[in-house]
Homo-oligomer: A and B are copies of this chain.
């Protein structure tokens, strides 16, 4: 059913109906080798910034060229932002993939008193590739952004006044019965494996963050990041559901 479920493809820049978009080399290969799209086939394109287009594949070589038939700009109605302490080794790789699949907006790696991100663990290029692949896989339109490491205080200042701020803490309140807001920005904080210090926790709580506990068991940093993302994603389901209902009624 190629027409019913067109391949979901990355385009750096989109354009309006009638225009032609030439894909980058890597994305052209993805169209021909992974999606095995044929000339004349319909494709869906996203720029990862809310732009989604539909078009037909006109040329394959040397690059894929798609003639745009429809273009829409989606608004992001809810944002999930995670401030995350250093994970061990390359363990954060798969968290990036999973956070992107779950639709998280932004990750800010934070430098904490007890642990700093190791240069080897910061793999910006790899993370961007993983996030992009996950975006296409989940047919999303907003690319997960992973920032450069920054101090906790700076990250907190940059994410001032969220709709809700939560701190993952084994002593926190249960997440059962606490839904993530279905609009606006929800900010989560997950400490490094070594934990946050009392003064770091105090500075977070002083900004109105609520301490929540994600699980009865002790979680690794990347597992807590993922559990937070799942909790956040669950908060958006009531909205998706009501949209789906209104679309079919």
Contact = CB atoms under 8 A, between A and B. Distances in A.
Contact of A176 (B171, B227, B235): B235
Assembly stoichiometry (copies): 2
A230 B230 CA distance: 7
Interface in A172-210: 173-177, 179-180, 182
B182 A226 contact: no
A102 interface: yes
Interface stretch (A47-55, A114-122, A239-247): A239-247
Interface stretch (A37-45, A57-65, A215-223): A215-223
Contacts of A216: 103, 233, 236-237, 239-240
Contacts of A175: 234, 237
Nearest to A173: B241
A98 interface: yes
B174 A177 contact: no
B244 A215 contact: no
A140 interface: yes
Nearest to A181: B176
B241 A217 contact: no
A174 B238 contact: yes
A20 to B, nearest CB: 28
25 contacts: A94-B94, A101-B219, A101-B223, A102-B219, A102-B223, A102-B227, A103-B217, A137-B218, A137-B220, A138-B217, A138-B220, A139-B217, A140-B217, A174-B241, A176-B180, A176-B236, A212-B237, A213-B240, A214-B230, A215-B230, A216-B233, A226-B230, A227-B233, A227-B234, A231-B231
Interface of A: 94, 98, 101-103, 137-140, 171, 173-177, 179-180, 182, 212-220, 223, 226-227, 230-231, 233-241, 244
Given A98-B226, A138-B220, A171-B244, 16 more contacts: A102-B219, A138-B217, A139-B218, A173-B241, A174-B240, A175-B234, A176-B236, A177-B177, A177-B179, A213-B241, A214-B230, A216-B237, A217-B233, A227-B233, A230-B231, A231-B234
